[in-house]
Structure 1
């Protein structure tokens, strides 16, 4: 299903954004602490949303298979 690959790509992107923000904060803790904190929170929210999409798509596929069986 295409939706699962889209959700997986979104999760990968969010994880990369979170990791990049954390690395920047570790390298220069006081450079832009507020901005980096917001970036990590946005990345976490995006990851959670994409995981919810993947779970919903999986549930819908299971329901469809149950109906067709």
Structure 2
């Protein structure tokens, strides 16, 4: 399903943003710590939202299969 593919890409993008923010935090001074924390929190929320899209698509597929059976 297209929505699952889009959600998977969204998950990958959010994980990449999270990891890059963690690397910046590791290298940088603490002056941008709050900004990086917000970046990572937003990436976490993006992952959660995209997981819900995958779950909803899976449920819809299951429902369609049940209806056709």
Instruction: Report the TM range for the smaller structure's normalisation.
Output: over 0.9
1:24-54 CA-partner distances (Å, limit 9, x unpaired):
0011141410100000000000000000000
The count of aligned residue pairs is 69
Deviates most, 23-32 or 8-17: 23-32
TM-score by length of 2: 0.96
Corresponding position of 1:40: 40
Gaps of 5+ in 1: none
Q: Distance in 1 between matches of 2:29 and 2:15?
A: 20
Name the structure 1 match of 2:65: 65
Change (3 A) 1:61 1:22: same
| More helix per residue | 2
TM-score relative to the length of structure 1:
0.96
**Uncovered stretches (5+) of structure 2, i.e. residues with no partner:** none
